[in-house]
Amino acid sequence: MRENRLAVCILSLSLLFTGCHGQAGDAAMASDDTNRQDNTTAIEAPAIVDTPILQNEYRTQLQREYSLRHYGEAMTEIVPQAVVVHWTGASTVESTYHWFYKPNYSDGTLNVASQFLVGRDGTIYRLAPETSLCRHAIGYNWCAIGIENVGGSGDTENLTEAQLEANIRLIRYLHQKYPTIGYVFGHYQQVAARASGLYRENVPGYHSIKADPGQWFMRGLRENLSQEGIVFYPE
């Protein structure tokens, strides 16, 4: 039944965003969190809608090729050590999902994508497993979970309060789930974040200049999460 439901979700985007809620996956994660034995209070997972992008043998091959070229080792999975926050530059969840869905980029390399996508109403979509290597931030894909937020068209700082609150909940949850996460930064802070020691890039001159997700958004995250023991960088 669950396989049939997933197939329907992938074939029909309308069903994907209205009928596929990853309930079994969320229940399993909730069980894992409940069973964790540590000295901290378990943080409840935020509501997450599972809307997987295509992960087939071709995408796996492209993951290995990309990571071998840029990081010197063929990887398909990561140990999360950072969270990189983005905006999409697009206006809808559906258009971003369609862009990320296919395995290959226009030049035949691994397509861009993030593990998470947050709609303007604050709905959190999981596009790929948290430990799956996704291409979203040059130099950090080998160790970073990406969160894309719908908005920012024309580099306009227009993300919503609902998205900010959703990101706060999601990052707090991810930080507890993966204690290896020590850094959170915006895509535009990628140079400052080299101070973390996490930056790795084997291709000379391969870089980009970014504005996402804006200073207001990162200030809101820092003010709400810096007490969690996460390193932020000046806005």
Length of the chain measured in residues: 235
How many angstroms from the chain centroid is the CA of residue 202? 23
Q: What percent of the chain has pLDDT over 70?
A: 83
Instruction: State how far the Cα of 149 lies from the Cα of 154, in Å rounded to an integer.
Output: 14
Instruction: State how far the Cα of 172 lies from the Cα of 128, in Å rounded to an integer.
Output: 19
Whether residue 54 has pLDDT greater than 90: yes
Q: Using DSSP, how many helices (H) and how many strands (E) does the chain show?
A: 7, 6
Whether residue 140 has pLDDT greater than 50: yes
CB atoms within 10 A of CB 112: 16
Q: What is the mean pLDDT of residues 131-158?
A: 97
**Whose CA is closest to 148, among 85, 91, 210?**
85
Compare 198 and 26 and report the one with higher pLDDT: 198
Phi, then psi, of 203 in degrees rounded to 5:
-100, 110
CB neighbour list of residue 52: distance below 8 Å, 6 or more residues apart: 6, 10, 126, 127, 128
Average pLDDT in the chain: 88
- pTM listed for this prediction: 0.84
**Whose CA is closest to 143, among 152, 157, 133?**
133
**Whose CA is closest to 83, among 40, 121, 130?**
130
Compare 68 and 29 and report the one with higher pLDDT: 68
Q: What is the mean pLDDT of residues 156-181?
A: 98
- Given this model, what pLDDT does residue 222 score? 98
Q: What is the mean pLDDT of residues 190-195?
A: 98
- Given this model, what pLDDT does residue 40 score? 54
Residue type present at position 117: L
